[in-house]
């Protein structure tokens, strides 16, 4: 075990109680992630990788076990503190992009900045990030439904980075993209890792997993 891991899971178990019987989605999962690592989580459907990512993103709480982020036990945090963690420490890139449809591309990127700083971006960070992911000013004025899948995912990457999070969680980031755009997005994510960002990525695509330095394989809620 590392002395000061960025993320540490200790026997994390997640059980979904169902009328037909309890479903164990995660079964005593333990591992650590150091700062700057790029970890791919692989496994077949139903293996528990999305549940694991939800735990890492603090969207859900474990039934038992502990999750430490930057040394703090998330079990001891209330909803407000977990939400603050998602806003400041964690960036999320989803398979379905998940942009807010009522906001323009620019506003989608600016949204977490506004939530954090309570003032519009006067540092030019939003423009800079949009430029880095290849979205120009004209395109940034468009609403998500007016953009292609690749463009939406680029905006989502910019949004995930706007508050400079230490951890970037990616849930099948290329799952809804063609191979060329998927490759471009993965290059972008790899580049972010090269610059020191810690990345955890769920994928079932071996080619995508090969961008990472370490792969965790899951089956039936356990790491194999």
Within the chain, residue ranges assigned H as helices are 49-56, 79-88, 105-117, 125-132, 137-140, 149-161, 179-194, 206-209
Distances in Å between the Cα of 217 and the Cα atoms of 2, 19, 32, 49, 172 are 20, 29, 14, 9, 15
Specify which residues 14 forms β-bridges with. Answer: 26
Considering the complex, what minimum distance in angstroms separates the CB of residue 94 from another protein? Answer: 8
What token pair was written down for 135? 């979205």
Closer Cβ to another protein, 21 or 101, answer by number: 101
Site string for another protein, 32-71 (x = CB under 8 A): ----------------------x--x-xx-----------
Give rounded-to-5 percent helix, strand, coil for the chain: 35, 25, 40
106 part of the interface to another protein, by CB under 8 A:
no
Q: How far is the CB of 120 from another protein (least distance, A)?
A: 5
SS (H, E, C) 127-183: HHHHHHCCCCHHHHCCCHHHCCHHHHHHHHHHHHHCCCCCEEEEECCCCCCCHHHHH
Smaller CB distance to another protein: residue 27 or 107? 107
In the complex, the smallest distance separating the C-beta of residue 182 from another protein, rounded to whole angstroms, is: 21
Nearer to another protein, 116 or 214 (CB): 116
| Among the residue ranges 5-13, 34-42, 83-91, 133-141, the one whose residues contact another protein (CB under 8 A) | 83-91
* Residue window 148-167: x/- pattern of binding to another protein, with contact defined by CB under 8 A: -----------x---x----
Interface pick for another protein out of 11, 22, 100, 164 (rule CB under 8 A): 100
Q: How far apart are CA 224 and CA 222, in angstroms?
A: 6
Q: Is 11 in contact with 30 (CB distance < 8 Å)?
A: yes
**Interaction of residue 173 with another protein, rule CB under 8 A:** no
Per-residue binding letters, 107-146, with another protein (x by CB under 8 A): x--xxx-xxx-xxx--------------------------
In angstroms, rounded to a whole number, what is the distance separating the alpha carbons of residues 108 and 85? 19
Number of residues forming the site for another protein (CB under 8 A): 31
For residue 193, give the 3-state DSSP assignment.
Answer: helix
Instruction: Give the pair of three-digit tokens for residue 37.
Output: 């690592």
The verdict on 103 binding another protein (CB under 8 A) reads yes
**Which residues sit at the interface with another protein, rule CB under 8 A?**
54, 57, 59-60, 79-80, 83-84, 86-88, 92, 94, 98-103, 107, 110-112, 114-116, 118-120, 159, 163
């Amino acid at each position: 075990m590392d002395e000061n891991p960025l993320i540490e899971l200790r026997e994390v178990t997640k059980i979904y109680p169902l009328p037909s019987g309890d479903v164990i989605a995660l079964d005593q999962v333990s591992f650590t992630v150091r700062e700057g690592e790029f970890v791919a989580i692989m496994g077949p459907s139903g293996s528990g990788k999305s549940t694991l990512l939800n735990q890492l993103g603090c969207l859900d709480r474990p039934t038992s076990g502990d999750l430490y982020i930057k040394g703090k036990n998330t079990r001891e945090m209330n909803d407000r503190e977990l939400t603050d963690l998602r806003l400041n420490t964690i960036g999320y890139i989803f398979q379905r992009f998940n942009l807010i449809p009522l906001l323009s591309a620019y506003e989608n990127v600016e949204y977490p900045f506004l939530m954090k700083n309570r003032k519009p971006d006067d540092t030019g960070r939003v423009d800079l990030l949009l430029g880095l992911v290849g979205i120009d000013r004209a395109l940034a004025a468009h609403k998500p439904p007016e953009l292609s899948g690749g463009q939406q995912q680029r905006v989502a990457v910019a949004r995930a980075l706007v508050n400079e999070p230490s951890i970037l969680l990616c849930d099948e980031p290329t799952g809804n993209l063609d191979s060329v755009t998927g490759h471009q997005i993965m290059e972008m994510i790899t580049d972010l890792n090269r610059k020191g960002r810690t990345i955890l990525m769920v994928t079932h695509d071996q080619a995508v997993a090969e961008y990472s330095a370490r792969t965790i394989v899951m089956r039936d809620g356990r790491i194999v």
